[in-house]
């Protein structure tokens, strides 16, 4: 990981990038708000081609990936081609997937422009598209050669977008760094050092388990439920995961002894932070429609829903089986 655009400029001046041909992948938002800063700061990218894709999850499709492959192929991209992903998590996911598949793998660089992507999607090499209505169902473990985190891009974000990313920071701190968790739920502002700390925590976990067979699963805390809520209600990822974390914490209290004080502290932070949004009250009908999505989660085994639960802050248990009735009870408890 590099500290910012200045570091990227210096890196791309090195001999190892001399024959690189760059394609910048972006969406409408980053084309308008972020591309001018990137190319004015990094001389090597001033002659780069760029490809604009739809905003959000809509871009993460096989059809869009095929269009990008066709475009770069027609442009003569060879094994020295480099894709620069300028955007949030969806652009990083899509661009990494495209790079992994083109000519059996070309280099790509992540330049995350949202808080959510800085602390989550741009780190770790999970590249994926959505397929068959299931989020991230087709993909690769294929890490970027560089991930450039520069908080200057956060100046383009709304408070809601920043909060969307802060949920992922809270999640990472909950499973790995209790002191940071307590800071994040007590403070309104997000400090640069906190962003760096969360990115380092995720990077360290990923290095220990690059293909998600063991310890890396702790980073999925709240996601088994959050992904199904995200798909069902089309909520922003951070908000959906925030709800998923509340469900997981409730189950943690009931199943493995997490302190109710931790659950209450998190619930209060979430309620206060998202007080201006209409968080839905789930009915049994809603739950029955979400359960099949939970059963399609990649972390499940033998038809059982498996999730990450907390024994205490910083001590997560992976692959905990939960029954459909336990899930129903936890979701219905959200409104209490």
- Confidence band (pLDDT; 50, 70, 90) for 146? very high
- Confidence band (pLDDT; 50, 70, 90) for 302? low
- Confidence band (pLDDT; 50, 70, 90) for 300? low
Structure tokens at 128: 């994926």
The pLDDT of residue 274 is above 90: no
Say how far apart CA 200 and CA 61 lie, in whole Å: 30
Decide: 104 and 142 in contact? Cβ < 8 Å. no
* Amino acid 91: pLDDT: 98
pLDDT in tens, 82-96: 999 999 999 999 999
The pLDDT of residue 145 is above 90: yes
How far apart, in Å, are the Cα atoms of 222 and each of 6, 91, 238? 35, 22, 10
Percent of all residues in the chain with a pLDDT value above 70, rounded to a whole number? 98
Say how far apart CA 83 and CA 110 lie, in whole Å: 9
pLDDT in tens, 151-160: 999 998 999 8
* Amino acid 203: pLDDT: 93
Give the closest residue to 215 by CA, choosing from 135, 304, 122, 308.
308
Which residue has tokens 């959505």? Answer: 130
* Amino acid 3: pLDDT: 75
* Amino acid 173: pLDDT: 98
267 vs 281, residue with greater confidence: 267
* Amino acid 38: pLDDT: 97
pLDDT in tens, 10-36: 999 999 999 999 999 999 999 999 999
* Amino acid 142: pLDDT: 96
* Amino acid 94: pLDDT: 98
Which residue has tokens 């210096």? Answer: 10
pLDDT in tens, 60-76: 999 999 999 999 999 99
Residues in the chain: 336
* Amino acid 22: pLDDT: 98
Decide: 258 and 309 in contact? Cβ < 8 Å. yes
The pLDDT of residue 298 is above 70: no
- Confidence band (pLDDT; 50, 70, 90) for 297? confident
Structure tokens at 114: 């949202």
Structure tokens at 329: 């009870």
Question: Angle formed by the axes of helices 260-273 and 237-256, to 10°?
Answer: 160
Query: Tell me, what DSSP letter sits at residue 296?
Result: T
The count of other CB atoms within 10 Å of the CB of residue 133 is 10
* Amino acid 237: pLDDT: 87
* Amino acid 89: pLDDT: 93
Q: What is the secondary structure of 54-86 as a DSSP string?
A: -SGGGG-SHHHHHHHHHHHHHTT--TTEEEEEE
- Supply the mean pLDDT for the chain: 94
* Amino acid 165: pLDDT: 95
- Confidence band (pLDDT; 50, 70, 90) for 133? confident
- Confidence band (pLDDT; 50, 70, 90) for 141? very high
- Confidence band (pLDDT; 50, 70, 90) for 2? low
* Amino acid 135: pLDDT: 82
pLDDT in tens, 200-236: 999 999 999 999 899 999 999 999 999 999 989 988 8
Q: Which residues contact 210 (CB under 8 A, 6 or more apart)?
A: 124, 125, 141, 143, 216
């Amino acid at each position: 990981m590099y500290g910012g655009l200045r570091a990227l400029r210096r890196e791309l001046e090195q001999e190892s990038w001399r024959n690189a041909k760059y394609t910048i992948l972006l969406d409408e938002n980053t084309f308008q708000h972020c591309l001018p800063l990137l190319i004015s700061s990094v001389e090597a990218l001033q002659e780069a081609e760029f490809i604009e894709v739809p905003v959000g999850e809509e871009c993460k499709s096989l059809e869009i990936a095929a269009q990008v492959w066709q475009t770069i192929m027609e442009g003569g991209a060879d094994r020295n081609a480099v894709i620069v992903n300028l955007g949030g998590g969806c652009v990083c996911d899509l661009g990494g997937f495209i790079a992994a598949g083109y000519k059996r793998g070309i280099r790509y660089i992540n330049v995350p422009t949202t808080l959510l992507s800085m602390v989550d999607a741009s780190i770790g090499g999970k590249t994926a598209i959505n397929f068959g209505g299931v989020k991230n169902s087709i993909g690769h473990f294929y890490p970027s050669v560089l991930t450039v985190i520069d908080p200057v891009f956060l100046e383009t974000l709304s408070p809601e977008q920043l909060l969307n990313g802060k949920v992922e920071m809270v999640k990472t701190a909950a499973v790995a760094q209790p002191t940071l968790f307590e800071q994040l739920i007590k403070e309104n502002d997000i400090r640069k050092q906190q962003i760096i700390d969360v990115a380092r925590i995720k990077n360290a976990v990923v290095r220990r388990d690059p293909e998600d067979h063991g310890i890396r699963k702790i980073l999925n805390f709240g996601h088994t439920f959050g992904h199904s809520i995200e798909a069902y209600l089309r909520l922003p990822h951070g908000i959906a995961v925030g709800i998923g974390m509340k469900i997981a914490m409730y189950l943690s209290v009931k199943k493995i002894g997490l302190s109710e004080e931790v659950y209450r502290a998190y619930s209060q932070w979430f309620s206060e932070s998202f007080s201006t949004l209409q968080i839905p009250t789930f009915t049994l009908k809603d739950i029955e429609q979400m359960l099949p999505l939970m059963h399609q989660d990649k972390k499940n085994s033998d038809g059982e829903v498996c999730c990450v639960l907390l024994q205490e802050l910083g001590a997560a248990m992976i692959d905990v089986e939960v029954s459909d009735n336990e899930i129903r009870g936890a979701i219905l408890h959200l409104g209490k």
